[in-house]
Chain A
Amino acid sequence: AQRVTQPEKLLSVFKGAPVELKCNYSYSGSPELFWYVQYSRQRLQLLLRHISRESIKGFTADLNKGETSFHLKKPFAQEEDSAMYYCALGSSGTYKYIFGTGTRLKVLA
């Protein structure tokens, strides 16, 4: 079964500390993984996708097929990173996304 697991509902870190938001997936084919972010009072928006191998707002995520993980990392958290983060798995052939339950990141001053 296709599934995305985000084990942490809430992650609190101090400003300047490293951040790692965990995401594990279950998928039998070749996965396409994404991270979406929702800032307070804003709509859900794409943060980054694994296929681009890009860094957005200092965040990176590496697809580890052996561990079936796609953890989101940032070396130095900023207060403006506080938001809800969703990991999503793209299901090719049906064009649908399977979302995890999300992790709320709180960056403390």
Chain B
Amino acid sequence: ETGVTQSPTHLIKTRGQQVTLRCSSQSGHNTVSWYQQALGQGPQFIFQYYREEENGRGNFPPRFSGLQFPNYSSELNVNALELDDSALYLCASSLAGSLSDTIYFGEGSWLTVV
């Protein structure tokens, strides 16, 4: 059984550019959540996908978008990057998205916007 994997681990982008971050969920999990963790802060919920449909969204602008694929892997896309988007982006998967399910985090993708 493989855990949650994310790619890339680190990347640097210029303000105004677009970025795509990828996540492979743990085997058997159909729910993926994305979190943004700025330096010195706790993770902040961006959105969740359950069986390829968005199932909840946090207070993030529409330039943050996502996809979930039939194999339950997921992408986070951020358009028109701003300096404040610099953060660790965490992906987490769970069996069915219920709070009673344990969620498993990946190691994250470090994004630096310059």
Contacts and interface: CB of A to CB of B under 8 A. Distances in A.
Contact of A100 (B33, B42, B50): B42
Contacts of A86: 42-43
B40 A92 contact: no
A93 B100 CA distance: 12
Interface in B36-51: 40-45, 48, 50
A81 B17 CA distance: 41
A5 to B, nearest CB: 11
5 contacts: A32-B99, A43-B105, A96-B33, A98-B45, A101-B40
Nearest to A97: B45
Q: Shortest 6 CB-CB distances between A and B: which pairs?
A: A99-B42, A96-B45, A90-B99, A94-B56, A44-B105, A95-B97
A106 to B, nearest CB: 16
A51 B44 contact: no
SS class of chain A's interface: helix, strand, loop or mixed? strand
Contacts of A44: 43, 90, 105
Contacts of A46: 102-103
Interface of A: 4, 32, 43-46, 51, 86, 88, 90, 92, 94-102
Contacts of B106: 43
Nearest to A102: B42
A80 B92 CA distance: 25
A100 B97 CA distance: 21
B52 to A, nearest CB: 16
From A43, A45, A90, A98, name the one whose CB has the most chain B CB atoms within 10 angstroms: A43
A88 B103 CA distance: 12
A45 B105 contact: yes
Nearest to B100: A51
Contact of B48 (A51, A95, A100): A95
